[in-house]
Structure 1
Amino acid sequence: AEDRAGTPEHAGDPRRDRLVATGAALAAVAGALGLYLAVGSPGIPDQPFAARLKAWRASDPASLGAPQMAAVLNDLVKERPNDPQLWIFLGRAQAAAGDPLAAARALEQAVRLQPEQSDTWAALGEAFVQLNEGEVGNDARRAFDQALKIDPASPTARYFLGRAEIDAGRRDQGLAMWRALAASLPADDPRRSALKGEIARVEAGPSAAAQAVAEAAPEDQAQMIRGMVEGLAARLQAQPNDPEGWARLIRAYGVLGDADAQAKALAGARKQFADRPAVLAEIEAAARK
């Protein structure tokens, strides 16, 4: 018989039930799992991968990091390739583990099996954006358009399509899309306040400091940017309860190509917001944009 989600054959599988329960929340907590966690445990370097995989499969999925979760799910989809939910969870875990190419492939399989799910199309579009280093390219746009055809209220699709308009120079159209999205979100939804902050920054245009950098001679620009980033880092040391500031700092070090400083900033954010995983997930998601 075909191996499909929801059949009596799998209805009582506790391992799958635990994965389903954890997978439903994976997107919200993925950033807190760590983007570049090494698969395996440094405490057991000699344990073969197959043995570790077996141990992970027997574990509570909530205790696994994103790469470990991806390894378990990758093993499970080989057993049940017609289960769209497993492909969705696999794609989300791979995206959280910093592998957008694998995430996109998994989510493409999910939409082939279950094409009527708006959230899956939106997740596929987001994987394409991550794969394209923050740009909303044609593949991402098609996925977001499909998400909106199924669910015109899709927050993820509306956000990224609005950002695409702004990035393309159609600022007014993009801001109108973002304002409508912000108005549709509940007042206590953290995405609403974050989006309002982005709207305010776009409305304000480039800051005086950014304008000065743009007008500076090329040889002076790097030094000016470095000074601005160092100023932000110093401010966060004094006033660390600033999620948007941490996201900007992490992103800035990435632009500068300073991997060591970026890793230290990310570690600082994780330490500061260790007890607020939702906030930490937003910081890491914003830092990837």
Structure 2
Amino acid sequence: MTQLWIAFALLLVPALWLLSHPLRRAAAVHAAQRDFEENDRTAEQNVAVFRRRLASLEAARERGEIDAERFAEDRLELERSLLEDTADLEARPLKTALSGRLAVPLIMVTVVIAAVAWYQQEGEEDNLALYTAIQEARQAPEASAGLMIQRLEQEAARQPDNPNVWMSLYPLYRDTGQGAAAIRALERLIELEGRQVPLVAQLAQIEFFVANRTLTEEVQALVDEVLAEDPRQPTVQGMLGIAAFDSGRYEQAIEHWRRAVAGFEDPASAEALRQGIAVAQERLGASREEIDATLAEGPGLNLRIALAEGLGEGLDEATPVFVVARDVAGELPPLAVARLSVADLPATLRLSDADAMSPQARLSQVSEARLVVRVSRSGQAAPEAGDLFGEHGAVALQDADAEPIEVRIDRIVD
């Protein structure tokens, strides 16, 4: 923290230097203003102008161009104009260069106090201290999970209202087998952050394992709370799958795990669940082919492809139909590609990692995909004028039992 305040002070130095600029310039400005006032000839110039105009006016009267009454009026107007021009020229006494010198230091002190107060209110001092503690624990020669927990516990005692402390602490408790401590840390996090669905789901999971993989009343209440908000929440669905598997309800376990796979963005977690599904299928007497298909499948998209009425006239039944899934941002190669023919339409199919063109671009790498279906008159993969196509915007990946997404081929490539 010392380094933080040193950096903070260094940032204030330029600001204070700028604020002190009036003090450093005061003597020069005072001298310039004094010289200007001493050498100002504006009043003399105004009087000279008045005299020239008055002389011109008198000459006009002598020539008989104006009478005495008109002369008196014009002279009065000239005198009034002279008074107006010279009224504002009387300068107030010039103050000394040191006048008001206390205002600048006062402003400088106010700026420093306000900056420090603002940072303490809005800054990230606590999170910086947490980050420093984590880095020190990681870089220590005796680095270990125990040391990390010790440092985080110190931060929890120092800043108990910082949710980031508890968010860092409870997974460590969980992963080191300290279930009761993990529950307390997670409950504190929920107090600070509110009953967010992912946090309540984590709490249900930890209590489930602490209770020896039993759906106690407390766990069931948490599960009901989560499912009321998000029926497909993957953490809870995975936990319910474990409970069903342990009690021999393999079909229910498969159902829960398929829903969980569709919601997990972590490929490792999804792969572990697919392994569980394969074991459950084996217990149910599934064939080797079905089990292998489960292991290879992963998350996917169920599609129903149809051709708009009238567009298919004159097409050969062997004309190829390309079904392509792409990432929403369009930054990756095609994630999955399937080939059908016009004779197959309308068709129902499922795209998965098994349809990937390369290991570097697969459906399991994204949570959403967009769909493009094209009837290629030339038989080539690249689109050409006259090809028929249809598309669907971003859709979330699904489990195998989800309802198919309708994609209608209803347009022509220009």
TM-score by length of 1: 0.48
Q: Which has the larger radius of gyration?
A: 2
Higher helix share: 1
TM-score by length of 2: 0.35
